[in-house]
Amino acid sequence: MPAMTYAQVEETVLKTLRPASLKYWAVVSLLFIGILIGAGCWAYQIAMGIGVGGHNIPVVWGTYLINFVFWVGIAHSGTLISAILYLFRAGWRNPIARAAETMTVFAVCIAGLFPFIHLGRVWMVYYMLPYPNERNLWPNFQSPLVFDVVAISTYLTVSSLFWYTGMLPDLATVRDRASGLRKKIYQIASLGWTGRYEQWRHYTRAYLFFAALATPLVISVHSVVSWDFALGIIPGWHSTIFAPYFVAGAIHSGLAMVLTLMIPLRRIFRYEAIITEDILDNIAKTIIFTGLIVGYAYMVEYFLAWYSHNIVEQESFRWRAFGDYSLQFWIMVICNSVVPLLFFFRKVRRSIPWLFFISLLINIGMWFERFVIIIGGAAHDFMPNAWGLYSPSLIEYAIMLGSFSLFFFLFLLFVKHLPSISMTELKEGIHQGGGHGR
């Protein structure tokens, strides 16, 4: 396919910022209703107490923690695509990097809400902060839960700054084509960027450092999330493979969510010339890789349980596959490890409906992976008299609905008000003679 010109890139991207249709606002309104339902149920929980959720002893970590880990996982691919592939100079990242970074920022915000929701008495949230107090009660910095507070806050701050800094040249482009109030807003948002050589000189350096710092951060954040479990002694959780296993799973789910978002975006905004089949093909190939790692981790967990000769660990894993939550377990295995193998077939990788369908299945599978780990571990630990089952309450389902609605709501607002594709990076790709997505 011939490379696009700068003008074509600009026209295609700026076209998406034109006033939205009624259909768009109808979808936004529906999602807003979803948010209101979630917010209303959270308010109800605050008023009535955390007991309105389905979690109870022995399963005290329910969907709130599942969703927390799920959304943190989704957040990972944004930085992976943007930072790691930037360092590797993989040109195919350019057309999808902005949307993926945006996905990261929104997903981390939503993930960050769940510990608040799970707290019950949300007004006590400041207890997690290290502030001087007369009782000398400080957070325990040896606890992975406090690592989590530090890691997720850092990740949100770094991802947001990375996202915004990367968008400055594009905001200037939008400013230069806008008029009236919009021009003023974009003028302030672009901080007066004019593309002076001094600006580029420092920008390229700063962007490189951003990518270099964000890369180890991505790996650390989901490792820290995994230690929330691995540092506990619960069978099924207390495992040294958790950090790489969680990081691979996070990237796996994030890549699937990138496909879930980019495929409709590509169709609605006529981005076919920018987000080419080759790019989707590359994402699918990466999903094969992460899917194989995840599948390998599932097998290694079983091997460790068998090799350890630890009957509690063995029972925990037997129950996982054949016990009360076996359906969830097999959904997890099939959706995350078996279905992605279809991407070995070029025809599947080049078929948009298949790509979209498989990405949805992986999203579902990854949600169930967190279900199997969190609920499975807590429900079936050392002593049979302490075993118990869990099912989410309606309030939990509603809050989950609210979180998904909030994510898509924010994403929809983003695509109509900010450039959803990095025009600057596409132009750079064209300038270097590599096309815009190779």
Partner 1 sequence: MAAEKKVMALFENDTRAASAIEGLAGSPWKLEQVHSPIPSSKILSVLKVKKSRVGYFTLAGGIIGFLSGISLAMYSGIQWNLVTSGKPVIALIPFLIVGFEFTVLFAVFGNVLGFLLQTNLPEFKSLQDYDERCSGEHFGILASCAEGQQEALLAFFQEKGGEARFL
State the residues that interact with partner 1 by CB under 8 A. 5-7, 10, 130, 136-142, 146-147, 150-151, 153-154, 157-158, 161-162, 165, 168-169, 172-173, 175-177, 187-188, 191-206, 209-210, 213-214, 216-217, 220, 224, 424, 427-428, 431
Task: Compare residues 176 and 278 and give the one whose CB is closer to partner 1.
Answer: 176
SS3 at position 59: strand
Question: Taking a C-beta distance cutoff of 8 angstroms, is the pair 41, 395 a contact?
Answer: yes
Q: How far apart are CA 48 and CA 163, in angstroms?
A: 39
Task: Compare residues 171 and 372 and give the one whose CB is closer to partner 1.
Answer: 171
Question: Taking a C-beta distance cutoff of 8 angstroms, is the pair 292, 34 a contact?
Answer: no
20: which DSSP letter? P
Task: Compare residues 190 and 290 and give the one whose CB is closer to partner 1.
Answer: 190
Rounded least distance, CB 193 to partner 1, Å: 7
Q: How far apart are CA 254 and CA 70, in angstroms?
A: 9
Rounded least distance, CB 243 to partner 1, Å: 11
Question: In this structure, what token pair is assigned to residue 384?
Answer: 């049979």
Task: Compare residues 141 and 303 and give the one whose CB is closer to partner 1.
Answer: 141
Secondary structure (H, E, C), 104-129: HHHHHHHHHHHHHHHHCCHHHHHHHC
SS3 at position 56: strand
Task: Compare residues 135 and 309 and give the one whose CB is closer to partner 1.
Answer: 135
Amino acid (1-letter code) at residue 391: S
- Preceding peptide of 235 cis, ω within 30°: no
Q: How far apart are CA 147 and CA 224, in angstroms?
A: 7
Q: How far apart are CA 436 and CA 419, in angstroms?
A: 16
Which neighbouring-strand residues pair with 59?
56
Task: Compare residues 150 and 185 and give the one whose CB is closer to partner 1.
Answer: 150
Q: Shortest CA distance to 304 belongs to which of 376, 241, 245?
A: 241
Task: Compare residues 203 and 269 and give the one whose CB is closer to partner 1.
Answer: 203
Rounded least distance, CB 123 to partner 1, Å: 22
Task: Compare residues 196 and 270 and give the one whose CB is closer to partner 1.
Answer: 196
Task: Compare residues 179 and 385 and give the one whose CB is closer to partner 1.
Answer: 179
Rounded least distance, CB 434 to partner 1, Å: 13
Task: Compare residues 149 and 280 and give the one whose CB is closer to partner 1.
Answer: 149
Rounded least distance, CB 206 to partner 1, Å: 4
Question: Taking a C-beta distance cutoff of 8 angstroms, is the pair 302, 317 a contact?
Answer: yes
Rounded least distance, CB 138 to partner 1, Å: 4
Rounded least distance, CB 97 to partner 1, Å: 15
Rounded least distance, CB 221 to partner 1, Å: 8
Number of CB atoms found within 10 A of residue 228's CB: 21
Question: Taking a C-beta distance cutoff of 8 angstroms, is the pair 415, 8 a contact?
Answer: no
Rounded least distance, CB 329 to partner 1, Å: 31
Task: Compare residues 206 and 292 and give the one whose CB is closer to partner 1.
Answer: 206
Q: How far apart are CA 64 and CA 42, in angstroms?
A: 11
Question: Taking a C-beta distance cutoff of 8 angstroms, is the pair 356, 259 a contact?
Answer: yes
Give whole-number Cα distances, 45 to 57, 320, 398, 401, in Å: 18, 31, 11, 15
Residue 295 Cα to chain centre, angstroms: 20
Rounded least distance, CB 228 to partner 1, Å: 13
Question: Taking a C-beta distance cutoff of 8 angstroms, is the pair 227, 242 a contact?
Answer: yes
Rounded least distance, CB 380 to partner 1, Å: 24
Amino acid (1-letter code) at residue 258: V
